[in-house]
Amino acid sequence: MDHLNFENQSHCLNCHTPLAGEYCSGCGQKRASRLTFKHLGVLLQSALFDLESPFFRLLFGLLLQPFSTIIGYLNGQRSRFGNPFKFSFILLTVIVLASHLLETSFMPSSQLLESKEQLKWQSEIALYEATHIYRVFILAFLLGLASKLVYRSAPYTMLEYTIGHLLILTLSVLIFSIPLMLEIFSEQLYAILSLLFSGLYSIILNYKMAENELAKWKNWVQAILAYAIGSTLFSAMLTFLFGVYSGFTHKI
């Protein structure tokens, strides 16, 4: 196998654009060199403490200015905040792994298991636990669908509404899962607060996305209606799927 000659680079090793200086005019990558241990500190610092990366910009933006951050992304600030689906998946996966390490439950299954009747439903509880966090992607899609149905004349697309609601739901999970894992919140309090927070913020997001298009009272009515439709569709879908699943497993 031929080894690259890092000393005499005529083209960018990332995108193959001809080099005219230290940085590529095509992709912006700096002239590459062999990785040695002297680069280790820089790589670790960039991975752990690069607060200017799109991931951390989006994280801090959601924590400090959630609505302006989301609307800024939807209105064109794409490279500034990166990929919202990747952001949500990574953050939710970290939360899931941390909850498993700390043996944290996101539902009050301990109370459910106290009932002898509920002992028959342990498989359903396990399924709920395994899929709980990632169901925000489904809920975000349904909220996006409902928002576009209600705001048919709005300039935003269904996907843009979905992305906005996904980031709100991810923020809700992040904020309330930390005190849950630290045993500051109970599972019941986590469920109540995260539901209230995500519902309120989703309604406000819909309102702000149409703030200059509608009268205030009409906008609030439509924002609440869109959330009600989306969350009702989500509850109906979950009830149906778990009913089908439980019926199938009990037959077996």
Question: What are the pLDDT digits (tens) for 90-141?
Answer: 999 888 888 878 877 776 554 444 444 444 555 555 555 556 778 899 999 9
**Nearest alpha-carbon partner for 144 in 60, 76, 104, 85:** 85
pLDDT of residue 111: 45
- How far is C-alpha 26 from the geometric centre of its chain's CA atoms? 31
Q: Which of 121, 96, 97, 98 is CA-nearest to residue 111?
A: 121
Per-residue confidence band for 144, with pLDDT thresholds at 50, 70 and 90: very high
Q: Which pair of tokens denotes residue 198?
A: 């995500």
pLDDT on residue 16: 80
Report the C-alpha gap between 53 and 68 in whole angstroms: 18
pLDDT surpassing 90 at residue 34? no
**Could you report the per-residue pLDDT of 148-175, keeping only the tens digit for each?**
999 998 889 999 999 999 999 999 999 9
Ramachandran category for residue 11: left, alpha or beta (phi over 0 → left; psi -120 to 50 → alpha): beta
pLDDT 10s digits, 191-225? 899 999 999 999 999 999 998 777 898 999 999 99
Residue type, 94: V
Q: What is the pLDDT of residues 38-64, one digit of tens each?
A: 666 665 555 555 556 788 889 999 999
The C-alpha atoms of residue 48 and residue 56 are separated, in whole angstroms, by 10
Higher-confidence position of 160 and 27: 160
Report pLDDT for 4. 56
Residue 59 structure tokens: 């994280």
Cβ contacts of residue 96 below 8 Å, gap of 6+?
133, 134
- Can you tell me the mean pLDDT for 3-18? 73
| Separation of alpha carbons 155 and 158, rounded Å | 10
Mean pLDDT computed over 229-236:
93
pTM: predicted TM-score of the whole model, two decimal places = 0.76
Cα separation, 85 vs 141, in Å, equals: 12
Residue in this structure with the two tokens 């409902």, named with its chain if needed: 146
Q: What pLDDT sits at residue 10? A: 77
- pLDDT, position 62: 95
pLDDT in tens, 234-252: 988 877 766 655 555 555 5
pLDDT given at position 128:
57
